[in-house]
Amino acid sequence: MSTVAVPSPPPTACEDAESLRKALQGNGHIASRSQAMSTASIFIFRWRADKASLIGILCRRTAAQRAAIRRAYAFLYREPLLNCFRYKLSRHHLLSVDFWVLPPFTRHDSTCAQFPAKKLNFQKALILWTMVLIEVSCASTPDHLMAVRNIYRKLFSCSIEEDVASSPALQEPLKNMIVSLVSSYRYAGEHVDMDVAKLEAAQLSEAIREKQLQRDEVVWIISTRSKSQLRATFQQCKEDQGTDICEDINRQCSSQFGRTLKSAVWCLTSPEKHFAQVIRYSILGLGTYEDMLTRVIVSRAEIDMKQIKEEYRARYKSAVTLDVAGDTSFGYRDMLLALVGSED
């Protein structure tokens, strides 16, 4: 469930655009800078954006409303709203505001696919690229994955599959599985064939037991079956083996392929488990993986952030809001906390 609380009735897009314009103009202030060789000071007049007002508007609007605000702002002021953010906001604050105003995972047209597509290309040289690929392939709808693939081709003149296949950072059999996942177009309905579920549960259980998860039939099942069918198959595995399939994967295969397969299983059937774990990993230890944390909160705020918070509390005995507040700083912390929402 979404954590975005839209006011009732909401302002019009033009009213919001005007409010954002005022917030971006902010308040002027005088800043002085002393020179080392002189008693004189240089006084600089600066404008600071009203970040609290920006957050109060943007974090309480849906993706469709934010798209309307972008159009209204461009019409009224003859410049893109995102450009104004880049002029006025610091890097840390811009990280969350920019990604939020860009259309996230919650719609299925090509425009709204730009956020994950840009993130995919940005992550190409990073370890996190595999995680982003799994999330885009498995945690979104089939239509949205297709939209991401289409906009990726338009933006970068190649397909995601080409980039994955040619990436030196990925090795077989992991590369083959990811190509299969990003190439998939699954049935999105609720129909389940229990005979198929029993047969494929036996195949998966045998592959796990023999530590041969890279088998073609395993990759084929994970990358082609509908989410409803996979839930039935994984439940059958649990009934047959007495343990959850992800527990079996953890126990039998500690390789990168096994870890990625487990992430795919979670994203396909229980995405709140995957995203709760990513949030936890992003804030553990010294420093914060800001891009990772921002990606999860921005992309899931309108989808299942409430379930993610519940899973996080159950698994880690802590609250997302408390851990994010304790491990972040600068203006972007307030943006992230507004999107996470209050703890029930």
pLDDT of residue 187: 95
Domains of the chain in start order, with CATH, are 13-89 (1.10.220.10), 111-182 (1.10.220.10), 194-252 (1.10.220.10), 272-340 (1.10.220.10)
C-alpha span between 3 and 104 (Å, rounded): 14
Residues flagged as binding site = 26, 283, 287, 325, 327-328
C-alpha span between 235 and 197 (Å, rounded): 9
Q: Which tokens in the block code for residue 141?
A: 């709808």
In angstroms, how far is CA 58 from the centroid of its own chain?
Answer: 17
Do residues 152 and 160 touch, judged by C-beta distance below 8 A? Answer: yes
CB atoms within 10 A of CB 190: 10
Residues flagged as binding site for Ca(2+) = 26, 283, 287, 325, 327-328
pLDDT of residue 252: 82
pLDDT in tens, the chain (344 residues): 788 888 889 899 999 999 999 988 876 444 444 444 344 444 333 446 788 888 899 889 998 899 999 999 999 999 988 888 877 776 656 656 766 776 543 333 334 455 566 656 655 444 567 888 899 999 989 998 998 898 888 888 889 899 888 888 788 999 999 999 999 999 999 999 999 999 999 999 999 999 999 999 999 999 999 999 999 999 999 999 899 999 999 888 878 899 999 999 999 999 999 999 999 998 886 555 777 888 899 889 999 999 999 999 999 999 999 999 988 776 678 889 999 988 76
C-alpha span between 117 and 133 (Å, rounded): 10
Strand partners, 34: 41
The vertex-106 CA angle with 100 and 109, nearest 5°, equals 105
C-alpha span between 20 and 3 (Å, rounded): 21
State the number of CA atoms in the 13 A half-sphere of 334 facing the CB.
13
Do residues 262 and 219 touch, judged by C-beta distance below 8 A? Answer: no
The DSSP annotation for 131-197 comes to HHHHHHHHSS-HHHHHHHHHHHHHHHSS-HHHHHHH-TT--TTHHHHHHHHHT-----S----HHHH
The vertex-343 CA angle with 339 and 344, nearest 5°, equals 130
In angstroms, how far is CA 278 from the centroid of its own chain?
Answer: 10
